[in-house]
Amino acid sequence: MGGVGFLAAIVLTIVLVAPRDLELTTLPSDSPSAAIEDNLSQPVPLPTVNVTPTSIPLLIRPYDALTDADLVNLASVATGSWDTANPGRFAYQARFPAGQPAVISFAWCAKDPAALEANWSDFAFEFSLDGEPIDLGTLALLERKDDSGACRSFAGVVENLELGHHSFVRTHHLLAPVNDGYDTYPQGDYVYAIEFEVGGFFALRSTFDSGSTPWPAGEAGIRTAYLEAGEYRLLARGGLALVTVDGPALGDTTISAKVRLITPGSVGGLVFRHSDADNFYYLLISQDGLYTFGMRWNGRGEMLVPWTASPALRQGALTNTLRVEFEGIQMRAYANGQELTRIDEGALPPGTIGLVGQTTAGRQADVAFDDILAYGPLAGAEATTVPTSQPLLDQPRVELLPGDARRFGTPPKAIAFANTEFAASPQEITVTTQCGNDCWRGNEWLTVRYGSAYSIEARSTVPTTAIGVQFWGLPSDGSVRVLLDGTEIWSGSIMGSGPEVGQVFLNYLQASGLPLAEHTLRVQPVGAADAATIYFFGIGESRE
């Protein structure tokens, strides 16, 4: 779409429009990159200006395509619907990293130079930051003309943004109706306002055009990584090569990248919530148009979505733009702008982002990455974070599932045996007992005796939406009550008819549908003569 359709691609200054099928690649994706490419005219050097009085002056300077290609575009991390077809006021919300310069830009593209000149003569602009007007003379004025169309843009960089709230407003006056060669846009004022907070946020942009990168380079084991022709190349010899960037742990995360699978048999994609080599989520694609979405949890691989064909994927060595959005417990995956899948899964804690290439034994994967954009609130700063002490938002789903949960079709994501003296708990679960000398200990199991003065409980140390307890009720057991985060959710007898398998009370009590948070599950005998035999606790929803 021409004219205002490019508005979805701006920064502090919302970009306005790109003609159909125009490839704009130099600025961050979803930004006015059309205006900043190698074949653009050189900007006229202009001085920086002091926009707002601060202890460290807020500066706006011209954009430099050679040194600023990896700076982040404010519009690319903004949320809101970009409507550019008619005049009006459009509001957006964003967060931006502290200490990072922000690119500001506006671009208009048309079918040809004649249409661009005709359109431009009917434009007027006003820009402001925190209520102070921005002089367009402080921005670089760039142009691009080629077979795909003609573009003109303002581009600048804002430095020294202070922590806290800011507002950027850009008004694009159309003094008369204009046609960019594709569409006609009505006369009127198109006002784009971004309210944004600086701080508590991470953003990374990697175009690999400057010859330097924060991503690892060189050889390490079966991996080789290097820059070549404006791309990041990742080679994997007979296995999996995974690289991460040195950055903070992110919970809610968005990561996108252009991915090219160069050699036959190569698989590649994106990694997020990476804690270590044994704990992370991934989105992978293959050369034959397949994708998979999965995770590694404590070294155990699990395909959340098995290898699936999608018409959205370009096959062979063609470039695919992949994007993953992780919000709360929901993960959404996209290829070339089309949704592949969405699932709910939030077992892994916040972590870093990464890239991966993989192939089978005796082969070498060669995967090229470009135009990487990743951002999200720092762990602990998410607006959607549910505090540990927050009460349940809705009634949980409480189920008594017959059998041993470890044998279910979908077992718990992690388990911790009740007898921690025999088997240490995993890092995801902490088990504590209050029974003095009145605990009976088997191998993995433990019996709590003598009423409500004693108990055993498990606390998840990572956010989860489900937690459960595996009963192993013996003839000596009796009535128990189970409390979730201090509230009773179940009570009943767990007495078995004998000590053998088939005679014990073998049931898994699970509470699911919980807010994504850390949760505590406590089991207490009810009467003075009652006892409770517990085999293990689990987190993550289980199904028979």
What is the average pLDDT across 301-315? 92
Q: Are residues 445 and 364 in the same domain?
A: no
Confidence of residue 526 (pLDDT cuts 50, 70, 90): confident
> Following CA atoms 226, 231, 232, 233 in sequence, which dihedral angle do they give, to the nearest 10 degrees?
-70
* Domain total of the chain: 3
The pLDDT score that the predictor gives to residue 476 is 82
Q: For the residues of 280-315, what is the DSSP string, one character each?
A: EEEEEEETTSEEEEEEEETTEEEEEEEEEE-TTSPP
Burial of 437 (0-12, 13-18, 19+ CB in 10 A): exposed
The pLDDT score that the predictor gives to residue 258 is 96
Kindly report, residue by residue over 196-212, the tens digit of the pLDDT. 888 888 888 898 887 77
Residue 95 lies in a domain: yes
Kindly report, residue by residue over 377-394, the tens digit of the pLDDT. 886 554 333 322 233 334
The pLDDT score that the predictor gives to residue 460 is 92
325: CATH: 2.60.120.560
Token pair, residue 388, equals 């540990």
Q: Are residues 11 and 158 in the same domain?
A: yes
Q: Are residues 163 and 229 in the same domain?
A: no
Comparing 285-289, 345-349, 537-541, the range with the smallest average pLDDT is 345-349
Do residues 478 and 527 lie in contact, with contact meaning Cβ atoms separated by under 8 Å? yes
421: CATH: 2.60.120.260
Residue 392 lies in a domain: no
State how far the Cα of 281 lies from the Cα of 354, in Å rounded to an integer.
Answer: 10
The pLDDT score that the predictor gives to residue 517 is 81
Neighbours of 299 (CB within 10 A): 9
The pLDDT score that the predictor gives to residue 379 is 67
Q: What percent of the chain stands above pLDDT 90?
A: 34
Residue 544 lies in a domain: no
Q: For the residues of 76-113, what is the DSSP string, one character each?
A: GGEES----SS-EEEEEEEEE-TT--EEEEEEEEESSH
Q: Say whether pLDDT at 106 is over 90.
A: no
The pLDDT score that the predictor gives to residue 307 is 94
Taking the CA atoms of 522, 523, 525 and 526 in sequence, report the sign of the dihedral they define: positive
Stronger pLDDT, 423 or 320, i.e. the higher one: 320
What is the average pLDDT across 288-299? 91
Q: Are residues 328 and 417 in the same domain?
A: no
Do residues 14 and 7 lie in contact, with contact meaning Cβ atoms separated by under 8 Å? yes
As a whole number of Å, the end-to-end CA separation of the chain is: 50
Structural domain ending residue among the three candidates 199, 226, 249: 199
Rg over CA atoms, the chain: 28
The pLDDT score that the predictor gives to residue 438 is 67
Q: For the residues of 206-245, what is the DSSP string, one character each?
A: E---SS--SS--EEETTEEEEEETTEEEEEEESSEEEEE-
Q: Are residues 168 and 219 in the same domain?
A: no
Stronger pLDDT, 488 or 83, i.e. the higher one: 488
Q: Are residues 420 and 362 in the same domain?
A: no
Q: Are residues 195 and 221 in the same domain?
A: no
Q: Are residues 355 and 216 in the same domain?
A: yes
State how far the Cα of 530 lies from the Cα of 476, in Å rounded to an integer.
Answer: 8
What is the average pLDDT across 226-236? 93
> Following CA atoms 429, 433, 434, 438 in sequence, which dihedral angle do they give, to the nearest 10 degrees?
170
Do residues 58 and 160 lie in contact, with contact meaning Cβ atoms separated by under 8 Å? yes
Kindly report, residue by residue over 466-505, the tens digit of the pLDDT. 999 999 888 888 888 898 988 888 888 888 877 776 778 8
Stronger pLDDT, 409 or 17, i.e. the higher one: 409
Q: What is the pTM of this model?
A: 0.55
- Which residue has 């004219």 as its token pair? 3
Q: Are residues 332 and 366 in the same domain?
A: yes
Q: Are residues 45 and 166 in the same domain?
A: yes
Residue 456 lies in a domain: yes
What is the average pLDDT across 51-76? 76
Do residues 198 and 161 lie in contact, with contact meaning Cβ atoms separated by under 8 Å? yes
Kindly report, residue by residue over 29-63, the tens digit of the pLDDT. 333 222 223 333 333 333 333 333 334 578 899 99
Domain of residue 311 covers 206-377
Residue 501 lies in a domain: yes
Residue 368 lies in a domain: yes
Q: Say whether pLDDT at 68 is over 80.
A: yes
Stronger pLDDT, 199 or 11, i.e. the higher one: 199
Residue 390 lies in a domain: no
Residue 388 lies in a domain: no
The pLDDT score that the predictor gives to residue 78 is 84
The pLDDT score that the predictor gives to residue 326 is 86
Q: Are residues 410 and 511 in the same domain?
A: yes
Q: What percent of the chain stands above pLDDT 70?
A: 83
The pLDDT score that the predictor gives to residue 70 is 85
Structural domain ending residue among the three candidates 377, 408, 425: 377
> Would you give the DSSP letter of residue 436?
T
With H, G, I as helix, E, B as strand and everything else as coil, classify residue 34. Answer: helix
- Kindly list the distances between the CA atom of residue 251 and the CA atoms of 274, 326, 330, 382, in Å, as whole numbers in the listed order: 10, 8, 11, 7
**Mean of the per-residue pLDDT values of the chain:** 80
| SS (HEC) of 469-502 | EEEEECCCCCEEEEEECCEEEEEEECCCCCCCCC
Do residues 350 and 356 lie in contact, with contact meaning Cβ atoms separated by under 8 Å? no
Q: Are residues 339 and 452 in the same domain?
A: no
Structural domain ending residue among the three candidates 176, 199, 222: 199
State how far the Cα of 63 lies from the Cα of 67, in Å rounded to an integer.
Answer: 8
Do residues 260 and 230 lie in contact, with contact meaning Cβ atoms separated by under 8 Å? no
What is the average pLDDT across 291-312? 90
Kindly report, residue by residue over 258-288, the tens digit of the pLDDT. 999 999 989 999 999 999 989 999 999 999 9
The pLDDT score that the predictor gives to residue 31 is 31
Do residues 312 and 289 lie in contact, with contact meaning Cβ atoms separated by under 8 Å? no
State how far the Cα of 110 lies from the Cα of 336, in Å rounded to an integer.
Answer: 23
The pLDDT score that the predictor gives to residue 388 is 29
